[in-house]
């Protein structure tokens, strides 16, 4: 029998995090779809030698939100694409898309579309870690995530495609799930979730920080210059 593509300790860390997130959202009367899936199916061989791709799609139906009036419902769609280096099982690339929708009068309307991004070595004129506003929803059939509105009924955002990349801390899929829990769970439920996932964090793949270390050691000739110092040699 052939050996698994990804070792158990890596797949189990992702699986444990997702399961704790699902339980926390369910405890606040929300639902995460799909309810269960083999985490091994999220991993695939990368075209790059010595690397593996992790792809995750989740749909939060009835995401807890105290500020939402009346019978409106908040849903959140997540799509994560991460690349892991097999030699160290560290992350060399991470892009996490987030779509926020409000369901009102049987229409699912996008209200916030964004993605978090990181790439080892940096990208030209991009902060090393950043969030970017989007003008298109995540592609794909959301019916498999338990949505009761067909994709063809989505209302496309009409905002202009204006580049706006805002520097952030590292925001991998693990960080995004943690922040979603912080934003939408009450203090008590979030504290419980935070305690449970604290032990998982040390087992999750770490980012490759070579580019960040180089940037932090670069000349501080401009405030926050480390966000673009990795790009100076290419200018």
Residues 5-21 pLDDT 10s? 999 999 999 999 999 99
**In terms of Cα–Cα distance, which of 32, 205, 192 is closest to 120?**
205
Does residue 195 surpass a pLDDT of 70?
yes
Taking the C-alpha atoms of residue 95 and residue 227, their distance in angstroms, rounded to an integer, is 17
Is residue 131 within 8 Å of 118, Cβ to Cβ? no
Taking the C-alpha atoms of residue 199 and residue 107, their distance in angstroms, rounded to an integer, is 40
Average pLDDT on 39-57 reads 94
Q: Which of the pair, 235 or 202, is modelled with greater confidence?
A: 202
pTM for the model: 0.85
Is residue 58 within 8 Å of 77, Cβ to Cβ? yes
Q: What is the structure's pLDDT at 82?
A: 95
Q: What is the structure's pLDDT at 142?
A: 57
Q: What is the structure's pLDDT at 156?
A: 47
**pLDDT band with cut points at 50, 70 and 90 for residue 148:** very low
**In terms of Cα–Cα distance, which of 80, 82, 75 is closest to 142?**
75
Question: What is the chain's mean pLDDT, rounded?
Answer: 82
Domain ranges of the chain: 8-234
């Amino acid at each position: 029998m052939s050996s698994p593509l990804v070792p158990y300790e890596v797949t189990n860390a992702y699986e444990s995090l997702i399961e704790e997130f699902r339980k926390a959202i369910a405890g606040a009367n929300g639902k995460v779809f799909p309810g269960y899936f083999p985490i091994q199916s999220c991993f695939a061989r990368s075209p790059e030698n010595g690397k593996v791709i992790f792809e995750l799609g989740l749909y939060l139906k009835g995401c807890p939100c105290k500020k939402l009036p009346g019978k409106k419902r908040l849903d959140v769609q997540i799509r994560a694409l991460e690349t892991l280096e097999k030699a160290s099982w560290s992350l060399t690339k991470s892009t996490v898309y987030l779509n926020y929708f409000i369901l009102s009068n049987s229409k699912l309307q996008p209200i916030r579309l964004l993605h978090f991004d990181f790439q080892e070595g940096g990208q030209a004129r991009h902060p090393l870690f950043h969030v970017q506003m989007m003008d298109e929803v995540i592609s794909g059939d959301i019916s498999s995530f338990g949505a009761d509105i067909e994709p063809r009924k989505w209302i496309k955002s009409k905002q202009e495609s204006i580049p706006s990349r805002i520097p952030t801390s590292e925001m991998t899929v693990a960080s995004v799930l943690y922040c979603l829990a912080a934003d939408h769970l009450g203090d008590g439920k979030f504290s419980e979730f935070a305690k449970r996932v604290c032990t998982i964090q040390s087992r999750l793949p770490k980012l490759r920080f070579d580019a960040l270390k180089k940037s932090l050691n670069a000349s501080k000739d401009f405030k926050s210059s480390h966000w673009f110092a990795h790009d100076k040699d290419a200018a």
